[in-house]
Chain A
Amino acid sequence: MIPFHIRNTVDRLDRPSSYAASKYKKRKRDDGETDANRAPSPTLSEKLSDATTLYVGNLSFYTTEEQIYTLFSLISPPRRVVMGLDRYQKTPCGFCFVEFYTHDDALQCLKYIGGTKLDERIIRTDLDEGFVEGRQYGRGKSGGQVRDEYRDEFDPGRGGYGKAVKEGYGEEYR
């Protein structure tokens, strides 16, 4: 019999989401075994429990470091900001890492900044294990982020249509 346990009367915004766990999940088949609501694995939880880095997504390609600094300084001046770059063009491709001095600062961003606007776009913030050289590049086939490969909505701040759609080999991928 599971004992009753409740931490708070409403959900908390300062918990890690699927973002950090996603790279550890293997590609699944149709087995119904996946429990998306299960907490991240213990080692990942440990790593994130003192994470000071945030992944910030849904930026416009034109958002500058200074804008990022200004917004996140409302919590605390970041130690550094690493812009996410297109692997080939080496230009910003719509995400960044913001590293703070304390774990608490990072959690406060999740609570107070994530989901508000930067450069007039709603941004997404997530706890990240920490920046490592190489992680600043997009992992999509064309060099940007994966989400921009197949996107079929027009997004003027992120290069318009998804790369695959633009190039015209969209049909096979639908």
Chain B
Amino acid sequence: AKLPSIALLSYAELVPEPLGLILVISSWNFPMGLSLEPLIGAIAAGNAVVIKPSELAPASSSLLANALPNYLDTQAIKVIEGGPAVGQQLLHHKWDKIFFTGSTKVGRIIMSEAAKNLTPVTLELGGKCPAILDSLSWSWEKEVVAINRIIGAKYGSCAGQACISIDYLFVEKPFSSTVVELMKAMIKKMYGDNPRESHSISRIINKHHFLRLKDLLIDQKVKDCIVYGGSMDEDSLFIEPTILVDPPLESAMMTEEIFGPLLPIITLDKIEDSIDFINSRPKPLALYAFTKNEVLKERLVSETSSGSVVFNDAIIQFAADTLPFGGIGESGIGKYHGKFSFDTFTHYKAVARRSLLTDFWYRFPPWNNYKLELLENTYNYDYFGLLLVILGLKRSRKTFHVN
């Protein structure tokens, strides 16, 4: 760390040290990645770690529990399997940090428990990540690319069950029917005529979430907005890539995080109206915008707030490890990836060294105005002022009456 010159024979540095014992609680949608990526950061920073993978992905959880002990140091890294009961028990203990990936609701519980021990937390939560599709009518190719990326980000990310999946899409009214037609064509291209038979789309994780998604479409007013897809098969937990246009804004579809392969398109008169819409809702984990309009880009960056902003693509920010990955407000606290992972599991200890040789005699009592003058000038690195004081040429302090 830089020191001003008068500090003379002093030295300051930041020493990274491990926090100690870390608890990583991961989610079911990317069970390997979300367990191991934080683990890598915690190891790099020198900590001991307990991972509690999600019980909703049991095969992955037991693979982790069985494989990790064969490769890693079991005295310092353990996997503990189980559901909410196990999670609760783990939370009763004192950790040096808790790293949680999951829902906002559980995030609050984790932080409340952590507060009892003053344990710092990193919470990677979710929210409704909006995407803005500006009219790119100057280039057909670009439109196709944008649509492909949007479809990939929605249906290709674990069938929409990803925290950074595109939740809903903004399109300007005159453009919306073209967009829908393009999407239908691209979905067919990627998933064929019978998406259930293609091996390219995930299933819904379990019955509970399947029914939750089914419920989103129960309302007739919402069902009427479906323009593509909509078929569901409870036995195979399959939901077809589905597009809706302008479902009612108060519906659950538009107020809760969808986390599934249903894509509502909200049409606007002007694409800029999306800014107010986004700002009236909780801050999302990611904001996506497909546009060439530099003014719009700047407005989006400066007038909205989100964990991250990505222009002309989606999801891919996850792979950019020079960028911090995390949320803000209800989408999370803290960040990781790349060096940010190391930092998140590290305590940067401030270390200052002084020599026993130099000393400012005027630092010590009994105090008087003269000493104070000298010390103020020293403190402000005002060498010239210091000289003046010593020579008796500077006397700017008013003397106060001390009773």
Q: Do A and B come from one complex?
A: no
Interface residues of chain B, those whose CB is within 8 Å of chain A, are: none
Interface residues of chain A, those whose CB is within 8 Å of chain B, are: none
